[in-house]
Amino acid sequence: MSATISKNTSARQESREGMLKITEIFYSLQGEARDAGKPTVFIRLTGCPLRCVYCDSEYAFYGGEWMHIEEILEQVAAHGSDYVCVTGGEPLAQKRCHDLLVRLCDQGYQVSLETSGAIDISLADRRVSRVLDIKTPDSGEVDRNLWENLDVLSAHDQVKFVICSRDDYDWALAEIRQRGLEQKRELLFSPAWGQLDPAELAEWVLQDQLRVRVQLQLHKLLWGDVPGK
Ligand code: SF4
């Protein structure tokens, strides 16, 4: 019996060679970070080991469809965009995400990766622009931050804090100053949607003369909090 199960499992794994579990592939405007406003193809990988309180992509935690990398590339190409964003969920929770990133870069796309900051990013293709989250206390996942990730970032990567409250802001400020991040990295501050007034966050940043980019989620301003946008 166990031999049968093991044989079946092995066959299933074999048949998933080169495949990833995908929640959706869609074409929209990049809503965040350096490329905000640019038409972009989004590949949303299924699954995330975190549970941030403000998560807007819970529908990507489960389900999804196994797709071969070749099929993913075909769907991406159909949109005719130069920009591709690999997101989730937590895309790096699937190890084959690295293969996908390499293939996308090889095909000449400008690729960004949105990652939770809880998984080692050092294996990600260096051509990819990594947008690394730092989880704040009010996210409920502050203990998941893998601080070593900051050591492997390069100039075309960015570090994002989603700020939920004044306490979150003060915590982020202390971490940034203590780690000297203002000088070393491009930093993004994003107000948690529906939790923190963006104008209030902007005032705090100006008062503290903080070298960060305050960013709003453009796609939500345009279309609301709608999946696939
Ligand atoms: S890491 Fe991202 S996808 Fe995962 S729970 Fe947090 S916000 Fe949601």
Q: What is the pLDDT of residues 75-125, one digit of tens each?
A: 999 999 999 999 999 999 999 999 999 999 999 999 999 999 999 999 999
- All structural domains of the chain: 16-223 (3.20.20.70)
User: Who contacts 74 (Cβ-Cβ below 8 Å, separation ≥6)?
Assistant: none
**Of ligand 1's atoms, which has the minimum distance to the CA of residue 116?**
1
Measured from the Cα of 51, ligand 1's closest atom is 5
Q: How much is the pTM?
A: 0.91
For residue 57, report the distance from its CA to the centre of ligand 1, in Å: 7
Q: What is the pLDDT of residue 45?
A: 98
What residue type is assigned to position 141 of the chain? E
Atom of ligand 1 nearest to the CA of 162: 7
**Could you tell me which residues come within 8 angstroms of residue 52 by beta carbon, excluding any fewer than 6 positions away?**
116, 135, 139, 140, 141, 162
Q: Which residue's alpha carbon is at the smallest distance from atom 6 of ligand 1?
A: 52
Distance 3 CA to ligand 1 centre (A): 37
Closest CA to 43 of 66, 19, 72: 72
> Whose alpha carbon is nearest atom 8 of ligand 1?
55
pLDDT at residue 14 is higher than 80: no
Q: State what percent of residues in the chain have pLDDT above 70.
A: 93
CA-proximal residue: ligand 1, atom 3 (nearest) = 89
Query: How does DSSP classify residue 56?
Result: S
- Select the more confidently predicted residue: 219 or 72: 72
| Locus of tokens 């299924």 | 46
The pLDDT assigned to 10 comes to 52
What is the reported pLDDT for 2?
Answer: 44
| pLDDT reported for residue 11 | 52
Q: Could you read off the pLDDT of 116-172 as tens digits, one per residue?
A: 999 999 999 999 999 999 999 999 999 999 999 999 999 999 999 999 999 999 999
Question: pLDDT at position 3, please?
Answer: 45
